[in-house]
Amino acid sequence: MKLLKGAVTQAAALALGLVIAGTTAHAADISGAGATFPYPIYAKWADAYKTKTGNGLNYQSIGSGGGIKQIKAKTVTFGASDKPLTKEELDSAGLMQWPMIMGGIVPIVNVEGIKPGELVIDGKTLAEIFMGKIAKWNDKAIQTLNPKAKLPNKAIAVVHRSDGSGTTFNFTDYLSKVSSDWKSQIGSDASVQWPVGIGAKGNEGVSNMVKQTGNSVGYVEYAYALQNKLTYTKMKNKDGKVVAPTSEAFQAAAANADWANAPGFYLILTDQPGAQSWPITASSFILMYKQPQDPAAASEALKFFDWAYKNGQKMAESLDYIPMPESVVDMVEKTWTTEMKGVAY
């Protein structure tokens, strides 16, 4: 299966029980479930891996919360989550995790006359929009950030995730860092009690809902904004600089990541300093058992991840994801050897 285009196509595939790279699952297929954030690159990697090896990837793009539940229920070989588990959570479940890819989360809007990258937003204003405190597009706070924009006197339709989502975890983690009101009243998690708005499932669902709803705002992984030709905003970062969502901006934020001193690879990349840093940068993680029920299936999964690390960088960059640095890949693969004894790759 080629990389899916558009949220409607993706949602339809998911409803049918998506099998990435191949139309039917077979014995050599690798099973996984979870985050929608990395779905576009996992699909692209899987297509290339299928061509190279004949082995497919049966990956259900159901959200990070679903991925954590499925790996804990032992119904898949690996789970995928954009909300990392703490070292204590990993140890209690017998799991290990590692970062597979990094990327950016972007605000998206559907406002007549506004083109991609034309609107600027800052963290405080974004928090107040998602709290319902800023309810119209021509509010003074938005207009001050965009003095030349013709913003309508229209109600803002807020769109958020309805499922347990690592994208939501990182988005609300950022809002908690830039807004004390958000932190005290709502907080950060994979699921929160949204004050306003309508929910949609997955990055696919939010993309589709914003595309169909006039005067709306949402948040998605950048690849979805690109694939679906959505209007993303620029943002004012921690250093007060206006930045566009680009691979360079995501890389600037990721440069601060100190993986060597992150127990269980637990690390959050939102609101990083740096004049070029994109403020809502995130990692996506893989979860597997240290002592898997099916060592052969685990071995096949590790072979796929090893292949993706070594051969998937250009594909990742083509979708504006950030590949993991070679030094981090070395650390990750050492943990496979030490923590998943007897599982070859």
Q: Which of 197, 228, 248 is at the close of a domain? A: 248
Segments of the chain with pLDDT less than 50: 1-27
Same domain, 302 and 332: yes
**Does residue 258 belong to any structural domain of this protein?**
no
Residue 83 lies in a domain: yes
The single-letter code of the amino acid at 150 is K
Query: Is residue 270 in a domain?
Result: no
Q: Does residue 68 sit in the same domain as residue 166?
A: no
Q: Are residues 221 and 137 in the same domain?
A: yes
In a domain, 256, yes or no: no
Same domain, 326 and 220: no
Among 199, 231, 248, the domain boundary falls at: 248
Q: Which of 201, 226, 248 is the last residue of a domain?
A: 248
pLDDT at 18: 43
Same domain, 112 and 136: yes
Is residue 142 assigned to a domain?
Answer: yes
Do 309 and 319 lie in one domain? The reply is yes
* Cβ–Cβ under 8 Å, residues 203 and 139: no
In a domain? residue 267 = no
Q: Does one domain contain both 109 and 235?
A: yes
Task: Please check whether residues 240 and 293 belong to one and the same domain.
Answer: no
CA distance 28 to 300: 8
Domain membership flag for residue 268: no
Can you tell me the distance from the alpha carbon of 46 to that of 55, in angstroms, rounded to the nearest whole number? Answer: 9
Please check whether residue 228 is in contact with residue 108, taking contact to mean a CB–CB distance below 8 angstroms: no
Q: Give the residue from 231, 232, 228 showing the smallest Cα distance to 208.
A: 228
- pLDDT for the residue 14: 37
Statement to judge: residues 147 and 237 lie in one domain: yes
Segment 143-184, tens digit of pLDDT: 999 999 999 999 999 999 999 999 999 999 999 999 999 999
Q: What percent of the chain has pLDDT over 70?
A: 92
Number of domains the chain contains: 2
Q: What is the pLDDT of residues 221-274, one digit of tens each?
A: 999 998 889 999 999 999 999 999 999 999 999 998 999 999 999 999 999 999
Q: Are residues 98 and 134 in the same domain?
A: no
At 220, which CATH number? 3.40.190.10
Residues 173 and 232 reside in one and the same domain: yes
Predicted confidence at residue 6, as pLDDT, reads 39
Q: Is residue 292 part of a domain?
A: yes
What is the structure's pLDDT at 2? 33
Task: Give me the residues paired with residue 121 across strands.
Answer: 235
User: What number of H helices and E strands is found in the chain?
Assistant: 14, 12
The span from the first CA to the last CA of the chain, in angstroms, equals: 25
- Give the residue numbers spanning the domain of 34: 7-103+279-339
pLDDT for the residue numbered 28? 54
Residues 111 and 95 grouped into a single domain: no
| Cβ-Cβ contacts under 8 Å for 132 (sequence gap 6 or more) | 158, 195, 196, 197
